[in-house]
Amino acid sequence: MTASIPDLLLDWYDRNARDLPWRVAPGAPIPEDPEWPYRVWLSEVMLQQTTVAAVKPYFAKFLDLWPSVHDLAAAPEDDVMAAWAGLGYYSRARNLVKCARAVAERGGFPDTEAELRKLPGLGDYTAAAIAAIAFGRRAVVVDANVERVVARLFAIAEPLPGARKAIRAAAGTITPDERAGDFAQGMMDLGSHVCTTRAPRCLLCPLAGVCEGRRQGAPERLPVKPAKKPVPERVGTAFWITRKQGREVWLVTRPGAGMLGGMRALPDDGWSARADGSGTPPLAGAWRSCGAVRHGFTHAHLTLEVRALETLRAPPGEGTWWPVARLGEAGLATLFAKAARVALAAAG
């Protein structure tokens, strides 16, 4: 069964590969550009739990601001976090800076999967992807898309996450020694556009003839996922504190650890540390309600009330008065950008 799979997949990839700014053409040699591993690494970190469409403009922006890993390593972390704002999963941005500095210190990216795994923020998948795509090493690359393709191809019916060991082992049996990077990207593309979660397009799949899940008649049931747990609800309050007739707003920087760590934000009541916030404002005064925003995290749904106050003095603690006219440059996390829009709309 397995002997023809790499040939079938690579032939399909040669004809159907997506044109992406962090890829070379199928079958093309690995670029001799010393920054090629940097671009592969940057794209792989950005693509974690994020769509290609969302990543493209951020990828271009980062390369424009920091063309090399040494440029990124020298950048202030606040600038990197601000440039990342809106892409979500902000721990990736913090790890991006740590990893860039580690790579710059050692003089470049290592070219083996084992050494790549030693870098900050690089797990098994990212290390394998960089080894295969950036350096042409044989590495077993398994992301969510590949996981789905392999579970169906081999009809692995054990529920996740327990099935991941068997899925990885099966993926290892079909990963070729040559063109491992193209094979990995071809499997990703196949899972993204053909072997989809719902209604897989089996008639278009180059592996349909050797797919055990299809032979059994219900490939869409694989991989078997555990029952979803109810997503908890949280509530909290964000505070829109202005001065000079609303021309400046008080912004804080969230602690490096924890939710939205290291990002600029509006002050809040500590909702991220509890099931619900206290609602206690940082200053006494005639607060007014501006409305609320809803936001989904992977672990909870949040309803955040937005309250506003015009004041003559700064709240306690560290922060900065930021020009409202330049709020787009602050790099607010998406949640607080939503809250700011609500406050500005209420102010008229």
Radius of gyration of the chain from its Cα atoms, rounded to whole angstroms: 24
Name the active-site residue from 32, 35, 44, 318.
Answer: 44
Sequence-distant (6+) residues with CB within 8 A of 187 are 9, 141, 145, 146, 149, 150
Task: Provide the 8-state DSSP code for 205.
Answer: -
CA distance 186 to 179: 10
- Give 106's contacts (C-beta < 8 A, 6+ positions apart): none
Report phi then psi at 242, rounded to 5: -125, 165
Pairing of strands 301-310, 233-243: parallel
248 is catalytic: no
The tally of CA atoms less than 13 A away on the side-chain side of residue 105 is 8
State the sign of the Cα–Cα–Cα–Cα dihedral 92, 93, 99, 100. positive
- Asked if residues 251 and 264 have their Cβ atoms less than 8 Å apart, the reply is yes
- DSSP conformation class of 22: T
Distance CA 348, CA 1 (A): 66
| Rama region for 230: left / alpha / beta (φ>0; ψ in -120 to 50; rest) | beta
In the chain, the DSSP E strands lie at 233-243, 248-253, 264-265, 288-296, 301-310, 320-323
Active site residues: 44
